[in-house]
Amino acid sequence: MDSYMALEEKDVEREQLENEAKEEAIIRRQITQFRNAGRFIPGTDVLFGTEPNDTPYVSPQRSSKDSWDAIVEAVIARGRTKQRRPLGKQVAALVASKVQAHFDGQEARRIKAKEQEERRLRNLAKSTMKAVIAEWKKAVHASY
C-alpha cells in the first residue's frame, strides 16, 4: 500500500510523479527569477498554478530618455488629437442623411424633367397656334 500513488484521481508511477515535480520546480524557479529581475507580469501567477500576490504592480521608472521616448510621445500626442470613431447614432445619422440626399436628388431630377416637358409642350402649343393662325389668315384672305 505504501507504493500506491494517485495524482488527480489517476494512478501514477513514481517516475511520472518525480518528473511532474521537477517540471513544477523549474516553473517556480523561473517565476522567482522573473520577480527578482523585475520582469514578472502581475496576474500571471494563476497561469503557473500559484496564488496571485495582492500587492499592486508598479512599473519601474526610467531616469534617462532616448530617441524612442520622443517617438512614443509623438505617437501618443497624435493619438490624442486624432478624431474619435463615430458612435452608432452618428453613423446612423450619416447614413440617413446620405439616403435622404439621394432621394432628394431623384425628386429634384423628376421635378426638373416635368418642368422641361411643360416647357416643351408650351412651345409646341405656341408653334401650333401660330401655324393655325397663319392658315386662318390665308383662308380669310382668300375668301375676300
Residue closest to 47 by CA, chosen among 59, 67, 31, 60: 31
SS3 55: coil
User: Is residue 100 in some structural domain?
Assistant: yes
Domain containing residue 143: 86-144
Q: How many domains does the chain have?
A: 2
Residue 2 per-residue DSSP state: T
Statement to judge: residues 48 and 9 lie in one domain? yes
User: Is residue 73 in some structural domain?
Assistant: no
Q: Over the stretch 54-108, which tens digit does the pLDDT of each residue have? A: 677 777 777 788 888 889 999 989 888 877 776 888 889 999 999 999 999 999 9
**Quick one: how far is CA 38 from the chain centroid?**
36
Output the pTM of the full model: 0.34
Cα–Cα distance for residue pair 101/95, rounded to 1 Å: 10
Statement to judge: residues 49 and 90 lie in one domain? no
